A and B are shown apart, each in its own frame.
Chain A
Amino acid sequence: MTEFIQLLISGLATGSIYALAAIGFTLLWQASQTINFAQGEFVMLPAFFVLAGMHFLGLGFGPAILLALVASLLILGLTFKRVIIDPLLPHGVLPVVIATIALGILMKESVKQFYSAEAQPFPALFSERTITVLGAVVSVQDIAVLLISLSAVGLLQFFLTGTKTGRCMQATAQNPAVAEILGVNVKRMILYTFLINAALALLASVLISPIYLAKFNNGETLGLIAFIAAIVGGFNQIRGAIAGGLLIGVIDNLAAAYVSAQYRSAIPLILLIIIILIRPQGLLGKAEGRTV
């Protein structure tokens, strides 16, 4: 039982970071039918903004994070939308897929070339002190990561349903044409979505890097897992992405411990196929009328 709780809590902490990355997928999909194959690299890069701020500009950890936030919003939000997505969207999903794959390579190679090919230690936001819960050893960091991710998601949900701008964004996501008629500034709403995605990527990056370390090719694994989490949970719902992320985090640990270490990453994949076959909209997703 202790073992099980240990695996569950660790899985939830890791899963909450997958969830942050997965939400990005669903946000961009909802707002602009963009499948971002560089999402993993979006989570990898901000950690290097922070490190560059600390090592090259001599900033403290806090100011470096602020700098990274600005850089993320500008590069991963604004520039990404204006330069790559806007011109490509009218041509359907495929050119976007190819362009974001290439973008992922570009980001990865730039970090390798201009920063380092080596993994970098990253300062921890929270103490690595451990406490014992029901016999399981849990670090303060794990709990903080879980709480921060969940409250970020809660805030986002509140913003989307509780504020005027948020509701306009949702209207845009559901039906851009109608939203436009109703006087919503659709373009601006889509831009907000991209900015939120960039900020979430930064958050995920800062939370995961102390545990996962910062390395140029971290996005490869992370992006795939976030993608699977988004599909399993429901590609068009934020709460689906959270459920998917947490579920994958936990299942991965349980599979490794109780099924097979060699096939641990097969279990989420099999789950993905089963879900698509019996519930294509994902666990918590809504059936989509729109044809792609």
Chain B
Amino acid sequence: MNARANFLAILAAVAVLAVLPSSLSTYSVYVLCSWMVFSIAAMGLNLTLGFAGQVSLAQAAFMGIGAYTTALMTMAGIPWPLAMIAAAVECFLIGLVLGYPALRVQHHFLAFVTLAFNALVFLVLRNEEWLTGGTYGVVGIPRPSVLGFSTNQQTGFYYVVFGFFLVLSAVLYGILRSPWGRAFQALRENPIRANSLGVDIRRMTLLAFAIGSAYGGIAGGLLGQLVQFIDPNSFTLTISLKVLLMVIVGGAGYFFGPYLGALLVILMPEFLRFTEGYYLMLYALLVIVLMISCPKGLLGIVDRIKLSIKLRQNPSATAWEQGK
């Protein structure tokens, strides 16, 4: 692909996102913020799922852990950058502890363990009222102040989220470009060969899961500050499935898949609002149709189109491309 064109396109997109809030309503800015927050969570899951090939159904649980950690720490007077770091580290460690035994048994078992974990986290958040406020949740979470500027206005906070969004995207890109990340892609394409080349599959997968979980934690921390209220219902299994939907609809394993998937999942109710009570039915139907027509997600469609153009231009040299 043309690297320079890609780079310019990304630069243009960043520039648009940087100036966009000034011309949007408060609601639209809020929606953009939640798009970026869920993109971060989906990016993390994409690392686990798209690159390491493991299904995690606990991304919402990690968001919850991150959100409660950040909220309770900042409300106790601890500076918010520290609270966010604590949330990320905590989720990373829990990811290690949870993933280590689960990945020992391989296959789809990480999915089952994380599913149970998510349901358990919900119960703890709801039942341990002394710590989490129980079913009533935590209200009045402070928005961070940056260099003395308060971000209580939606636009101010937008730039905080935007900053995290950019930095975490860049970090993920760096990870995937590092030797370690390349080993990952080798692993995804051919586990047996990667193993024979001395790649320790289990350790790599575990690390990917833990990093993905830390992304979930940061996303949760931001979500708490965005909504300024958290309760256990925001971190149920349903939300984990929603994040999974984002990754798959966008295209698992594609760098930009989560951004596109999150955009679609968050904006779809907007576009279908005119159908009144039928919008969820239509939404479900669209997802089914999309899965059937393109199981690799939206970016899978783009790939397929590119491939067919290439085939038309140069029908001979493509067996390898198709195999990929």
Direct contact of A and B (CB under 8 A): yes
Give A residues with C-beta under 8 Å from B.
35, 37, 83-84, 87-88, 91-95, 97-99, 101-103, 105-106, 109-110, 113, 224, 227-228, 231, 262-263, 265-266, 269-270, 272-273, 276-277, 280, 288, 291-292
Q: Mind listing 22 A-B residue pairs with CB under 8 Å?
A: A37-B241, A88-B292, A95-B248, A95-B295, A98-B244, A98-B291, A102-B287, A102-B288, A102-B291, A103-B288, A106-B288, A110-B281, A113-B281, A263-B123, A266-B120, A269-B116, A270-B116, A276-B113, A277-B102, A277-B104, A280-B109, A292-B108
Contact B278 A113 (CB under 8 A): yes
Q: Which residue of A lies closest to B134 (CB)?
A: A262
Residues of B within 8 A of A92 (CB): 295
Residues of B within 8 A of A266 (CB): 119-120, 123
Contact B116 A273 (CB under 8 A): yes
- How many A-B pairs with Cβ below 8 Å? 103
Q: Does B296 contact A (CB under 8 A)?
A: yes
Contact B288 A94 (CB under 8 A): no
Residues of B within 8 A of A88 (CB): 291-292, 295
Contact B277 A276 (CB under 8 A): no
Q: Does B127 contact A (CB under 8 A)?
A: yes
Contact B116 A105 (CB under 8 A): no
Residues of B within 8 A of A101 (CB): 241, 245, 287
Q: Does B55 contact A (CB under 8 A)?
A: yes
The residues in B between 188 and 242 inclusive whose CB is less than 8 angstroms from any CB of A are 237, 241
Contact A99 B113 (CB under 8 A): no
Give B residues with C-beta under 8 Å from A.
49, 55, 101-102, 104-109, 112-113, 115-117, 119-120, 123, 126-127, 237, 241, 244-245, 248-249, 252, 277-278, 280-281, 283-285, 287-288, 291-292, 295-296
Q: Which residue of B lies closest to A91 (CB)?
A: B295
Contact A98 B281 (CB under 8 A): no
Name the distance in Å between B207's Cβ and chain A's nearest Cβ: 20
Most chain A beta carbons < 10 A, residue from B106, B241, B284: B284
Residues of B within 8 A of A94 (CB): 49, 55, 248, 252, 295
Residues of A within 8 A of B105 (CB): 276-277, 280
If A228-B116, A269-B116, A272-B112 touch, does A109 touch B244 (CB 8 Å cutoff)? no
If A103-B288, A292-B108 touch, does A262 touch B244 (CB 8 Å cutoff)? no
Residues of A within 8 A of B248 (CB): 94-95, 98
If A224-B119, A263-B123 touch, does A106 touch B291 (CB 8 Å cutoff)? no
